[in-house]
Each structure stands twice: as C-alpha cells, then as structure tokens.
Chain A
Amino acid sequence: AQKITQTQPGMFVQEKEAVTLDCTYDTSDPSYGLFWYKQPSSGEMIFLIYQGSYDQQNATEGRYSLNFQKARKSANLVISASQLGDSAMYFCAMREDYYGGSQGNLIFGKGTKLSVKP
C-alpha cells in the first residue's frame, strides 16, 4: 500500500487564485512529520512547509498553508494568490518516527504538476 497518495497528477490554476493540492498518508505510528516540497523545471528540490503530527495548529509559511486533517489522514497544501513562478511539481512526503527511533528519511508521493495560467 502506498504511504503517500497524491491523486492529482496535474492541476491548472489561474494566476492570483488559490489552489489546493491533495495529499493523504498512511501510517500507524502516532508520531510523524509531513512535508511539502516544490520542484521547478530547473530540477532542484525546495522545502516549503512542515507539519508535525502533534502540532495543534495548521502550519503556514507565507502564501503556503497546510490543511492538516489528522482523522482523515490528509495534509493538503494550499497556495494562496498563485503566481506564474509557482508552476512546478509539488511533492508531499512523510517521515515516520517509529516510536522515537526515526531513520530520518522521507517517503514521497508521486507528485502533482501545477501549472499557473496568466
């Protein structure tokens, strides 16, 4: 079974509008971390935002926010006021903490390609 599921292979959004990229995860560990990364066409991996499983508040970083619904095991990324430079692949990832003994590695979803239209 996939640990991280991103059901939207591709998304379009109009410039200046908000967009939500979906991510669901599967773990039985009570402690875990959820991450979003951006990969523009130039290829580098850019860390965007982090949500810990015990965090009470949804994480926010500038125009990025993470809609964390623990019971539904979802961690959707919301990008507000989309810009042309937001066009990229977006990856959701999870780190399982294995009851305090995390190996540190992230498990990635298959990604969503976001295209921002002018």
Chain B
Amino acid sequence: DTAVSQTPKYLVTQMGNDKSIKCEQNLGHDTMYWYKQDSKKFLKIMFSYNNKELIINETVPNRFSPKSPDKAHLNLHINSLELGDSAVYFCASSQQTSGGITGELFFGEGSRLTVL
C-alpha cells in the first residue's frame, strides 16, 4: 500500500501544453510538498501546504499552480509548458515535528516530465 503516490510517473508533452500531476498520501500527514529535481539532480522546494493552506511558495513561475482539495491531496498544474520545465517532480509529505517526531519527508516515486 503506497504511502505517497503520484501520477503520472512519466509525462511527455509539447511546448505550450497544460498538464497536471496528482499526488495523494495515506499517512495522515498535515504537510505536503512539491519538489523539482533538475537534470543535475538538484532538489529544490517549490510549494508546501499545511492542512490545505499554502505555507511555502518559492520563486516559481506563476504558470505553476498547486491545489490542495484536502490534506491528503496536493496536485500540481502547469500551464504553457516550456522546455526548461523538463525535470522530475517529487511530491512529499511529513508529520508535524513535536514530541520526538523527526519530521522526515516521505517522497512519492517522482513524475518525470519531458517537454519537447
């Protein structure tokens, strides 16, 4: 039973298209994240939601829009895709850090987006 699942795993599309990646976690965590891993393997935070509320919004083009319908889901919609958007996008979740909780991130398998 997958803890953090994201779909699709692979996405190949043309420049200018709009696409979405969905993420769901069944761990009961309050906080969810989107990270982008570029071709050099560098992982960078894009967005973070805590209990459906946006708490981190890094310097990301406004073509990227996260949506959290409930605390178990965090979707990523990308408009007008560009070549530079090609990357692996990871969804993750974590528990609040209190009472000995370490707060490690649980990652999904990643969604590899290729823009042609």
Contact = CB atoms under 8 A, between A and B. Distances in A.
Contact of B109 (A43, A47, A102, A103): A43
Contacts, number: 58
A50 B90 contact: no
B110 interface: yes
Interface in B24-52: 31, 33, 40-45, 48, 50
Chain A interface size band reads 20 to 34
Given A91-B43, A110-B40, A105 B48 contact: yes
A44 B107 contact: yes
A82 to B, nearest CB: 21
Given A43-B109, A110-B40, A111-B41, A104 B48 contact: yes
Nearest to A42: B109
A43 B33 CA distance: 17
